[in-house]
Amino acid sequence: MDWHILWQYRAALWDGLVTTVWLSALAIVGSTAVGVLVGCLGATPSFYLRRLTAAYTELLRNLPLLVKVFFFYFVLSMPTIPAALLGLVLHQSAYIADVTGAGIRSVARGQLDAGLALGHGYWQVFRYVILPQAVRIVIPPMTTQYVAVIKNSSIVALIAVQDLTYQTQQINVETFRGFEAATAATVLYVIVALGIIGSMTLLQRRVGVR
């Protein structure tokens, strides 16, 4: 074992880490926006919206992420970063839509009826009664989704995005120090994931989930 090799390649590792972090951050923001919207639409009384969102979720959840990324990059000929980002956003948004829908459905149906009986509109009840409760319910499973984004982002190395996986592969093939490179990747991915878990724990405390 020669750990010095990691110090020699510190600039490459840092660049890779930065790329992984900002790509994951954008993918988390994008997939949350799309996923929550789809999840909310899926919880509406409209039959067509429910069917449409179910189709979206099923289609994107059942396609491997690699297939999506390759499709955008090689078939649709998109540039590297947009192809990678779109793949990550669409992939995770399907799961987040599912989590959001489950969160909304777990708020007792009686609360909606009570709100409607008091003369509020559907969207009013949704916004002020259902959503605040659903948010608390979905934070823990959402944490899992965000960690999944970070791990899944390693796929983009396959289309030459120079993320953490790409850089550690590069150390491996240039120096043949595969164990050291894999260890560096493990530690750095775990640190990023722990960062996400920590932030989500703080968020949970703020919104009063225990």
User: What are the residues binding other proteins (CB under 8 A)?
Assistant: 1-2, 74, 77, 79-80, 157-160, 166, 169-170, 172-179, 183, 186-187, 190, 194, 197-198, 201
- Please report how close the Cβ of residue 76 comes to other proteins at its closest, in angstroms: 10
- Please report how close the Cβ of residue 151 comes to other proteins at its closest, in angstroms: 15
Residue 1 or 11 having the CB closest to other proteins: 1
- Please report how close the Cβ of residue 196 comes to other proteins at its closest, in angstroms: 12
- Please report how close the Cβ of residue 140 comes to other proteins at its closest, in angstroms: 14
Residue 31 or 154 having the CB closest to other proteins: 154
Residue 71 or 133 having the CB closest to other proteins: 71
Residue 33 or 194 having the CB closest to other proteins: 194
- Please report how close the Cβ of residue 95 comes to other proteins at its closest, in angstroms: 23
Let me know: does 107 contact 49? Beta carbons within 8 Å: no
* Residue showing tokens 């649709």: 76
Residue 21 or 197 having the CB closest to other proteins: 197
d(CA 178, CA 23): 25
Residue 44 or 175 having the CB closest to other proteins: 175
**Per-position DSSP letters for the chain, written without gaps between them:** --THHHHHTHHHHHHHHHHHHHHHHHHHHHHHHHHHHHHHHHTSS-HHHHHHHHHHHHHHHHS-HHHHHHIIIIIS---HHHHHHHHHHHHHHHHHHHHHHHHHHTS-HHHHHHHHHTT--HHHHIIIIIHHHHHHHHHHHHHHHHHHHHHHGGGGGGGT---HHHHHHHHHHHH--HHHHHHHHHHHHHHHHHHHHHHHHHHHHHTT--
- Please report how close the Cβ of residue 91 comes to other proteins at its closest, in angstroms: 20
